[in-house]
């Protein structure tokens, strides 16, 4: 927060931060995600009914390396893009510092947990799981 009466104050308070990098990332990842997500929706929701995605169908598909990579790339970009978007919203709307810290901790923590779960899922899945 800059509250400066003279430009020396403003200069002292101005420091570099990763906002520029995030700003560029949001646009680049967004463009990539349009293709990945719309492709994902088209293949799993329009071409076939989502009801067909039974246990064996999901395991069979995600056992193939090409879908592991596709889904993991989509998961990673979407998580970073989404959580950074949530951070923008929290910074905009949650003004009380203590509440902001708690909100961010909760959102980041939950997202990180689910990201780890999803990543583990993608890399553990193999056709052997259908044998049982």
Partner 1 sequence: MQLKVKIRRYDPERPGKDRPYWQEFAVEAEPGDRLLDVLNQVKWYHDPTLAFRRSCAHGVCGSDAMLINGRNRLACKTLVRDLGDRITVEPIRGLKVEKDLIVDMEPFFDSYRAVMPYFVNDEPPPAGERLQSIEERQQFDAGTKCILCAACTTSCPIFWVNGNYLGPAAIVQAHRFIFDSRDRAAATRLAVLNQNVGVWRCRTAYNCTEACPRGIPVTQLIEEVKRAVMFQNA
Partner 2 sequence: MYRAREGQWAFALHRISGLLILLYLLIHVVSISLVLFGANAFTVLHDIYGFWLFRVGLIAVTGGVLYHGFNGLRVAIMDFTGWGTAVQRQLWYGVLAISLIGLLITAWVVVPRILAGH
Length of the chain as a residue count: 132
φ, ψ at 87 (rounded to 5°): -65, -45
* 31, 50, 54, 93: residue in contact with partner 1 (rule CB under 8 A): 93
2 binds partner 1 (CB under 8 A): yes
Torsional sign, CA 89, 95, 96, 97: positive
Angstrom distance (rounded) from CA 109 to CA 58:
27
Task: Select from 9-17, 35-43, 56-64, 67-75 the region that touches partner 1 (CB under 8 A).
Answer: 9-17
In the shown chain, the binding pattern of residues 10 to 49 toward partner 1, with x for contact by CB under 8 A and - for none, equals xx-xxxxx-xx-xxx-------------------------
* 52, 91, 109, 120: residue in contact with partner 1 (rule CB under 8 A): 91
Q: Which residues in the 13-52 window bind partner 2 by CB under 8 A?
A: 27, 30-31, 33-34, 37-38, 41, 45-46, 49-51
Rounded to a whole number of angstroms, the minimum distance from the CB of residue 84 to partner 1 is 11
Nearer to partner 2, 14 or 30 (CB): 30
Angstrom distance (rounded) from CA 72 to CA 79:
10
**78 in Cβ contact with 70 (< 8 Å):** no
Angstrom distance (rounded) from CA 118 to CA 72:
8
């Amino acid at each position: 927060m800059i509250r400066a009466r003279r430009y020396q104050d403003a200069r002292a308070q101005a420091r570099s931060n990763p906002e520029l990098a995030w700003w560029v990332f949001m646009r680049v990842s967004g463009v990539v995600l349009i293709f990945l997500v719309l492709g994902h929706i088209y293949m799993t929701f329009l071409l076939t009914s989502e009801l067909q995605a039974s246990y064996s169908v999901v395991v069979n598909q995600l056992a193939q390396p090409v879908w592991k990579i596709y889904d993991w790339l989509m998961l990673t970009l979407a998580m970073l893009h989404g959580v950074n978007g949530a951070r923008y919203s929290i910074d905009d709307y949650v003004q009380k510092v203590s509440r902001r810290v708690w909100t961010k901790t909760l959102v980041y923590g939950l997202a990180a947990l689910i990201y780890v779960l999803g990543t583990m899922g993608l890399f553990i899945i193999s056709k052997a799981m259908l044998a049982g």
